[in-house]
Every structure is written in structure tokens, then in C-alpha cells.
Amino acid sequence: SHLPENEKIEVREVREKLKQRAINETTPIPRIYDEECAKAMLSTTAIAILPSEREMNSGINKARRAIAPIIPTTQLFDIPESYSKTLNKNEFLITDKTVTRCQRILLFSTTSPCVFGLLPNRQKNTYHFMFQELKAIAVQMKMNFSPKLIMSDFEVGLLSVVALEFVTTTSLSCYFHFTQAIYRANQRVGLSTAYNNDDDIKKYCRQLMALPLIPEAIIEDTYDKLIATIPSTLKETLKDLLQYFQ
């Protein structure tokens, strides 16, 4: 038997709305599906024949991908206007500049104090350019870009530029990146296997990682006491790591 024409029209209209929203929005497809089904006021028969979100997902995703820009493989590409604005049509891409022929810097921000920077490398001059650009944009917005605190990882280039650009700013390093730096130093000096298999080495490495968690005034004394407790044989094994830490 054939499906009633009215019910087929209901389902077709829902599918078309789903497709159009998927093309014009970045809203997750399951959410679009739920919202449109709730608004549709479908008949019982139409509900029964409406494909599930999982069944429709592939086709809707295909429609969304068809109008999306091709993912670039170089830094030479145009950014569509829709990608340079927020959903409220406010400016989001605030800087798009090519520093050299092969180095492009993109800065995304809104009036909220948050900026995303896509940088071509981790060189000092790149960080310097980024901070100078942010300061210039702040002036245009009649604001003073002078943060009280900057938290970063242990990248030497970034830390040195922060010290030059923000003389009065307190610069702190992230504890997560601190522990990562110790762990990577372990690997770099050839202690990975020993760290995994020797409980004593693991214990001393973790004690080094825990030093930032104690009051700053006693960190140096605690470090000296920790070094004094390491047996001479282990101290030789840990020599390169301890030198890096110091």
C-alpha cells in the first residue's frame, strides 16, 4: 500500500528544514533534528515514517560538507566572510596579515577578553608581532592592553618576549606544562625505561614535580634536602635531569 500523500509531504518538509539548517548553521545535527521534530507537529503516521537522526545523518552531513570550503593545505587561502564573524554577525577575525611570504598570522577575538592566535611558528619575532598587533587593536577599541598576569608554558621564546613587552606584568608558568616539561626531560635524557621500572627514580622525579605546590619561601631549601636524600648511585643516574631542572 502507498503512504498517504499528506504524511509524505510532512516528512519531506522536515527533511528540507533539517538540510537547510545544517547548511546555514554550525549547530550539531542531532540538536537540529530534535528541535525541528519538536516544532513540526507531525501526525502519528508521519512520525512513524520519519527516518531517525542516525538514518538521516549521513545525507545531512553530505549537504553540509558540499558548501563548506575545502580544507587548505597551505597558508595561502581566503577566509569566507561567514567564518570571520560570530553567529551574531559581530567581527571575529581581527587580524589577517602575512608577515613574510610564507608566514601568516590570524587572530580571532570578540569584545569578550579572549583571543585565539594561529601562528606560523614559535619564534620571538612572531610573538612580538602578535603582542604589538593586540596592543594596536586595543588602542583602536580605546582600551589598554596591559594584563596583570600572564600564564604560559615553558617556551623560552614566549617567556622572553613577555618579559620585554609587559615589564610590569607578573609572568607565571602553568603547573601542567611544568610537569610535562619534567616528563619530557626524562625522555630526552634517556630515563623513560628507568622511570617506568624503577620505583625510586619515579619517586624522586615526582618529588621534583611536586615542588611548585609548596610555599615559595621554602622551595629552594626543600630542593636541597631532596637532593641530599638521593643515594649517590641514583644521583649519577639522575644527573642530566637534575641539571635540566636547575
Q: Do residues 45 and 4 make contact, with C-beta atoms less than 8 angstroms apart? A: yes
pLDDT at 1: 45
What pLDDT score was predicted for residue 4? 58
Residue ranges in the chain modelled with pLDDT below 50: 1-3
**Could you tell me whether strands 115-118 and 93-100 are parallel, antiparallel, or unpaired per DSSP bridges?**
unpaired
100-119: pLDDT as tens digits: 777 888 888 876 767 888 89
pLDDT in tens, 153-195: 888 889 999 999 999 998 888 888 888 888 888 889 998 888 8
Rama region for 207: left / alpha / beta (φ>0; ψ in -120 to 50; rest): alpha
81/89 Cα distance (integer angstroms): 10
- Residue pair 60/16 in contact (Cβ under 8 Å)? The answer is no
* Domain positions in the chain: 5-67, 81-173, 175-245
